[in-house]
Structure 1
Amino acid sequence: MAHRCATCARLIRVGEAIKCTGDCGQSFHTACAAERFIYDLTRPDSIREFRCDPCAMHRSSITPRSPPHAYDSLAADQQCTSNITLDDIMRQLQLSTASTNDIKNQLQSTSAAANSKLELIQGTLVGVKHDIVELRSHISHLASTQEALANRISYLEQHSENAKIETAEMKRDNIQLKAQIADISNRISRGDNTHPTSGLRQSAQFSECCTDVIISGVHLCVAESPLAIATTVFDALGVSELVIDILSVRKMARKSAVAGPSNLPDRNHATKQSFVVSLKSARVRDFIIKKKREKKSLSVSDVFAIDSPGFIFVNELLPSDLFNLLLKTKAKAKAASYKYIWSNFGQILVRRDYGQPIIEINTEEDLSKLN
């Protein structure tokens, strides 16, 4: 049966074994016994009478497991034990100290390696935390970019819708102009000298030369600048992007307030003020007026967030001659029971009731049509 060395715990091959004849009866490699124990293995019969240090120093009362012939050499063992000196003990202590130092060095080396790995892990964690912060910042940037793109898309969609509406209006006006031109051509071919083109010329001249709108009904308690008031009204109409098309805004003196039909003085006219807004083009003017007609009504309290009655009006600014003609038309139409009187692109229009034909008033002579 193979044995293991009691010192190094490795298997002992044949020819390498030496067995303690003392109480322990353990087996050792010859080299391990010579290195570890102080027993002199150079003496004759040393291997046959070998005892480990504990068995050599203490005699056990337990029945030894060693062979019977070990008792014959008891005297020799005692003599060998008596040969142990202080130097032998010190040497053994030095060997133990050296072994302890080796273990200590191994532990220190292991601890240093563990500390190095720990520092590496901590450095990795710091890098991961930095990457997480960068990712969060990147995500926040992407979110803000997405929101800006969404706002831009909404803005473009709104402008696209406005462009579609404006294009439809222009197509409709073009059809009307074509019809008027065809009517003029027919009258000319018939030799009609009643000058039917006066209304067309008047509308065209108005569209080309007048790009102003008048904002009226503003309460005197609104102390903002004229431009700020116009901007607020444009916001209420949903055309805030057209503020950049404003050339100038001026407050209109009450004595020269000339406006469209919705700007006629009311009972509280003394507490109201009006503003003339000059725009870059007639197309901008017409689009703003169309938006106001879609809104139908704008209350003062909704536009300026003040507790004041009344409404804000936005109309095309008529020249004085057209305005005077409008006043006369209103008086004549009211007497003749006409319900609708309005101006459109400098053209005065009258209708008795909804669905009935529209009557154009271009001169005072046309008032005779209102019977």
Structure 2
Amino acid sequence: MNCSGCSDKDIDKKSLSCNVCKLIFCYECLNIDAKKVASLSKNQLASLKCLTCSNVSRRRNNDNTSARAKADQKVEQHSHKPAASQSSSHSGNCNPVPLTLDSISQLLDEKLSLTSPFVINMREALKKDIKELVVAEVKSTMTGLMTDFSTTTDFLASEQTDIKNKIAERDSKIEELESESIRVQRELTSLNNRLSAVEKLSRDHNVEIQGVPESRSENLLGIFKSLCTAVSTPIADNDIRGFRRVAKIDPTSDRPRNIIITLSSPRLRDLLLSAVHRYNKSNAKDMLSSRHLGITVDSRRVYVVEHISPESKQIHAASRKFARDNSYKYVWVKYGQVFLRKDDNSNAVRVKSCDYLKSLV
């Protein structure tokens, strides 16, 4: 360890620190007898100052001339001993130099020089203090940030847990709704099937005549009687339960409204349909038309078919279009169901729905 005053390197434990500049000085530079160090009180050690700090304190005071002269004399008296001691340790030929204000100022300038040990040590001490302050501030800031981060992560974790619980609750509700939807769809399908069966039964006695021109003075019963006569299948009046025209599916169509004839039994209906089929087959060049029914004003082709539901009519229309586009030879309706056949050697295919036609491509 070096003395900050005389730069002696062999001071070992014979040194004390100044309580102002915190520098280390040997006993000789502090003008203290080594034997009296042990007898110094704590207050004396706490107020211990080096010669430079003592002189700086005096220069800052606005003392009068007499007091300053006394101080200079006292400083000179105190400085003789360390000078003599230092001269005895280094060279026996040096004479003690009296201290004056100029010499003290010069000494202060040397001490406060950027290259002086005092300033260097002071800078190191400041660096150390600043470093400690920065480290402490950074630690405090990091602690605060960690606390805030922990609070934020805890909040996010809580929110995430709530969201997961809500999602699980929604998933459970969706599963229940899906199960309910499947059940309702099954019930709806069952009801549709039952309704279709009821509609089919309600139409089993009916015959639908298409293409008969309309007139205000028309006699639907007479028209039907003429049809039965044309196909050689007479039907008694008591077997005819009703007759009427029905509304068009497409109101914008220019086709005449269809005629519905209700017979007493499905057997009579099938007999009439078979007779019409045989007539058209045997008279391919003169198929059944309105002229055969006694209507000569506007002669057009007349069709006699089963009375099927609107849904079956849609399937029948889609099947006819499909047959034209895909070279199917036969399309017909029997017992309220639509059938297709590719050619004479192919099997008949029942068309269950319009979507079913896509599977036949």
TM interval, short-chain normalised: 0.3 to 0.5
TM-score, length of structure 1 as denominator length:
0.39
Specify which structure has the bigger relative contact order, considering alpha-carbon pairs within 8 angstroms and separated by 6 or more residues: 1
Q: Bigger radius of gyration, 1 or 2?
A: 2
TM-score, length of structure 2 as denominator length:
0.40
